Chains A and B, each alone.
Chain A
Amino acid sequence: MPTDAPLLVSTRKGLFEVRGHGAAARIARAHFVGDNVTLAIVDRRDGAWYVVLDHGHFGVKLHRSDDGGATFTEVAVPAYPAKPEGFVDKDMWGKDREWALKGIWALAPALDAPGALWAGTLPGGLFRSDDRGATWTLCEALWQHPTRVKWNGGGADHAAIHSICVDPRDPRCVVVAVSSGGVWRTRDAGASWEPHTKGMKAGYVPPEQADWPEHQDPHCVVQSPSDPTVFWCQHHMGIWRSTDDLASWTQIVVEPTSFGFPVAVHPREPATAWFVPAHSDQKRTLIDGKVVVNRTRDGGQTFTALRAGLPQEHAYDLVFRHALDVAADGEQLAFGSSTGNLWVTDDQGDRWHQVAGHLPPIYAVRYG
């Protein structure tokens, strides 16, 4: 049964609200036209929209709508504490790392309290709000973790927490993924953290450091809602899956390429996942100009390249890590590209429908 929730499309020049399904999907409204919208989500518990704006000159802002996008109110953004005197925190260029908000790259409802949110930020911060964005608190345990100062950029000049998975079995159990800084889990709502990267490999560091947690660059991590012991990861080096609750990861090779940024997992089928591949690390575009979505229904043993409705010549669309999503019904998906194309499906990707072809660069798509 298709949902009637909006699809929020965040772009370099505005937020676009899509209504309708499949071939009938249309842009119903545009919000913040002209502004750089880097992420927008709907909190399905209370219907609130949260919209991240990056004004460049004027900094990163967060707006909330309590009436389904009719009006917006600016709320607070996470703020870093002052760096303690003498504390050494250098970035990969040897410069002092500024403890100041450079971006919000992940937002997720914190399911242990109404109106509570987690935010993943640049540089490398995890913040929590218990009042729908009115105030934010830094997760000190992760920020003070000894490896955190070794996290570097990957996707941005600053290390970034881009994926937040709140465990449906226990909302105090939260997994975050960092580019580039690995995969981390807390079981006590942020008081303590352990790395979970066993099996992952990095090819951009000396070989003896290839399996260090802080060197891993997971581009996107999702947790299966129906079997929370299953995680999927689109990593800089390819695709990994964990079926043992993060005790280990197993690499999955897809031909002709496993490179890409986003991943989505079916809400009720843990073995079903979608990826949008790109050519390679070296060539951040498509193979032979063809837009393809890869779908597996058997845990990654086999993949089907979905092409129906997608351009198969002279396309150069890159799909960023937050620009693919699956709706709660498990039938609808959407993805958007760096060149402003937006596609949706209502049959799990068997056929795609172009909603728009001239949008600004698309950073994120999220179903409400």
Chain B
Amino acid sequence: MATVAFTPNLQRHVPSPTVTAAGATVREVLERVFADNPRLRGYVVDEQGALRKHMAVFVDGQQLVDRAAQSDAVGPGSEIYVMQALSGG
């Protein structure tokens, strides 16, 4: 199970506590999180599933490579941070 934490800046719009979820890729993990918290989806990805332009995701300290499909691999004990990028906004 990966651990997924969300930027505190998101909390006033959509409560999004740190959770654990299974999955082999970031997309698979996020899909499980969104299944339990449907409103969160549109705040993190757009309608085509791409990571929003000014969002940043880190997996075990490494910035996400595949922003369009989030196919980056996730290990069983991975830590995923969904953050605001210091751009735009």
For A, the interface residue count at a CB cutoff of 8 angstroms equals 15
Cα–Cα, bound, A80→B48 (Å): 8
Cα–Cα, bound, A313→B60 (Å): 58
Q: How extensive is the interface on chain B, given as a class?
A: 10 to 19
Cα–Cα, bound, A61→B43 (Å): 9
With a cutoff of 8 Å between Cβ atoms, the chain B residues found around residue A56 in the complex are 54, 88-89
A283 on interface, CB distance cutoff 8 Å: no
A59 on interface, CB distance cutoff 8 Å: yes
B47 touches A101 (CB 8 A): yes
| CB under 8 Å from chain B, chain A span 29-84 | 55-59, 61, 74, 77, 79-80, 82
Given contacts A82-B48, A100-B48, A100-B50, contact A55 B42 (CB under 8 A): no
- Quick one: which of B10, B39, B52 has the most chain A CB within 10 A? B52
A143 on interface, CB distance cutoff 8 Å: no
With a cutoff of 8 Å between Cβ atoms, the chain A residues found around residue B21 in the complex are none
With a cutoff of 8 Å between Cβ atoms, the chain B residues found around residue A55 in the complex are 13, 43, 89
A99 on interface, CB distance cutoff 8 Å: yes
B9 on interface, CB distance cutoff 8 Å: yes
With a cutoff of 8 Å between Cβ atoms, the chain B residues found around residue A100 in the complex are 46-48, 50
With a cutoff of 8 Å between Cβ atoms, the chain A residues found around residue B43 in the complex are 55, 58-59
Cα–Cα, bound, A79→B45 (Å): 12
Q: Which residue of A lies closest to B85 (CB)?
A: A57
Cross-interface CB contact of A59 among B46, B48, B85, cutoff 8 Å: B46
| CB under 8 Å from chain A, chain B span 29-44 | 39, 42-44
Cross-interface CB contact of B42 among A61, A82, A98, A99, cutoff 8 Å: A61
For residue B22, give the distance in angstroms from its CB to the closest CB of chain A. 25
B1 on interface, CB distance cutoff 8 Å: no
B54 touches A80 (CB 8 A): no
A59 touches B52 (CB 8 A): yes
| CB under 8 Å from chain A, chain B span 50-89 | 50, 52, 54-55, 84-85, 88-89
Cα–Cα, bound, A217→B66 (Å): 37
CB pairs A–B below 8 angstroms (29 shown): A55-B13, A55-B43, A56-B54, A56-B89, A57-B9, A57-B52, A57-B54, A57-B55, A57-B89, A58-B10, A58-B13, A58-B43, A58-B44, A58-B55, A59-B46, A61-B13, A74-B39, A77-B42, A79-B47, A80-B47, A80-B48, A82-B48, A98-B46, A98-B48, A99-B48, A100-B47, A100-B48, A100-B50, A101-B46
List 7 A-B pairs, minimum CB-CB distance, nearest first: A56-B89, A79-B47, A58-B43, A100-B46, A57-B54, A57-B89, A57-B84
Interface set of B (CB-CB < 8 Å, partner A):
9-10, 13, 39, 42-44, 46-48, 50, 52, 54-55, 84-85, 88-89
